[in-house]
Amino acid sequence: NEGNEYFKEKDYGRAVAAYSEGLRRRCGDAELDAVLLTNRGAAHFHLGNYRSALNDAIQAKKLKPTHLKAIIRGALCHMELKNFSEAIAWCEEGLQIDSKEKKLVEMRAKADKLKGKKLKGTFLGIQTDFSTCCQGGAVLGTDLVCDRNIKLVLEPSDEEEEVSDGLAEITLDGFHSGSATGAKVHLDADGNLNWPVLFLYPEHEQTDFTVAFHENSRFIDHLMVMFAELPPWDLEKKYLPNNLELYFEDEEREEMYEVNPEHTLLQVLQHERYFVKAGTPTVLVFAKRSPFSKKYFSGKKVHRL
């Protein structure tokens, strides 16, 4: 109930924490746990954590295979992640339960249309071009970034990118930069910037995408929410909030920089060697002292804390 109240208030971070606390109670009621997982998945979805949302939908469906809300949420996550074949499979599974469910019928048709189309880029075709908003003089948004000593990389594309209709809309209105995920860098009522942030997990080839990371929020706070429950791909149970190392890459120098989880997003973005590409900050996440990370960093210059 507490989670539902936070959800209604659109305080999705606290909603995730409340639903997670409910799951920790291990009530033994599979149906209630399925609801908690589905609701937490919905909150993760609104935060832009599509992988975490999908994980919750998968777990909810295992507990209650006919739970239509979990199936719809899972299909939506696959759509956001451009997994169109998987989205179709989830839709078909749901339509076997209710053949007239409008959301699934529409999503099934859209996924079928988009299947096989390719988007450039390593993650969802994120393609904001800040050089566009710089044409014709200064724009409020770029001034806000420059005032914060944040460095943007301007990379005008040589060719137009194909973006599926109805799923994503690339727009640029001042500093409100749209991406193929629908995420936007935006200024809140208090004059603070909220960024879409991409988390990469190289060891497992997984990703998380946070739509609105407040510039004064700490990384550890987001990790506590994202890893409130172990992801299903973490079979060794290594990805715990306090057992993670964060890095960003300086591609020009081919060097890695460790990120202090206690630091805020703004502190990291203000680092002299951090460059924001495509309007989307990116962070790499590793389990501490893992054989994979040792191999990954072998031969690379790493600047540690």
* Same domain, residue pair 149 and 83: no
Residues 110 and 149 in one domain: no
Whether the CB-CB separation of 46 and 210 falls below 8 Å is answered with no
Strand duo 151-153 + 275-277: pairing: parallel
Assigned domain for 147 exists:
yes
Q: What percent of the chain has pLDDT over 90?
A: 44
CA distance 80 to 282: 18
pLDDT band at 164; cut points 50, 70, 90: very low
Q: Would you say residue 164 lies in a domain?
A: no
Residues 216 and 90 in one domain: no
User: What's the CA angle centered on 52, arms 277 and 188, to 5 degrees?
Assistant: 50
Same domain, 110 and 190: no
For residue range 229-249, list pLDDT tens digits in order.
888 889 999 999 999 999 999
Tell me whether residue 19 is in a domain.
Answer: yes
Q: What is the average pLDDT across 211-230?
A: 86
* 181/107 same-domain check: no
User: pLDDT digits over 278-293, tens only?
Assistant: 788 999 999 999 999 9
Answer whether residue 175 shows pLDDT above 80.
no
Q: Are residues 15 and 46 in the same domain?
A: yes
- DSSP-based three-state secondary structure for 15: helix
In a domain? residue 257: yes
Closest CA to 198 of 103, 92, 102, 282: 282
Query: What's the whole-number mean pLDDT along residues 32-46?
Result: 93
75-114 pLDDT, tens digit per residue, is 999 998 888 889 999 999 999 999 989 999 999 988 888 8
Please state the rounded mean pLDDT for residues 270-276: 93
Q: Is 83 left (phi over 0), alpha (psi -120 to 50) or beta?
A: beta
Q: What is the 3-state secondary structure (H, E, C) of 264-298?
A: EHHHHHCCCCCEEECCCCEEEEEECCCHHHHHHHC
- The CA distance from 87 to 84, in Å, is 5
For 294, residues 6+ apart whose C-beta sits below 8 A from its C-beta are: none
Give me the pLDDT at residue 177, please. Answer: 35
Q: Are residues 94 and 148 in the same domain?
A: no
Q: Taking Cα atoms as reference points, which of 251, 277, 252, 275 lies closest to residue 127?
A: 277
163 found inside a domain: no
CATH number of the domain within which 115 lies: 1.25.40.10
Of 3-7, 48-52, 129-133, highest mean pLDDT: 3-7
Considering the domain architecture, whether residues 18 and 54 belong to the same structural domain is answered as yes
CA gap 191, 171 in Å, rounded: 22
The answer to whether residue 227 sits within a structural domain is yes
What does the DSSP assignment read for 136-168?
TS--HHHHHHHHTTPEEE----SSPPP--TTT-
Would you state the pLDDT for residue 184? 66
Query: Does position 165 have pLDDT exceeding 70, yes or no?
Result: no
Of the candidates 282, 215, 213, the one whose C-alpha atom is nearest the C-alpha of residue 48 is 213
Average pLDDT over residues 30-36: 93
Contact status, residue 49 vs residue 208, Cβ threshold 8 Å: yes
Q: Supply the mean pLDDT for the chain.
A: 80
> Does a structural domain hold residue 18?
yes
CA dihedral 80→84→89→91, nearest 10 degrees, is 50
Global pTM reads: 0.52
- Residues 48, 118 within the same domain: yes
Q: What share of the chain is helix, strand, coil (3-state, %, to 5)?
A: 40, 20, 40
Structurally, how many domains does the chain consist of? 2
Q: Is the pLDDT of residue 140 over 70?
A: no
CATH number of domain containing 278: 3.10.20.90
Q: Where in the sequence is the domain holding 298, given as residue range(s)?
A: 141-154+177-304
Place of tokens 């393609």: 127
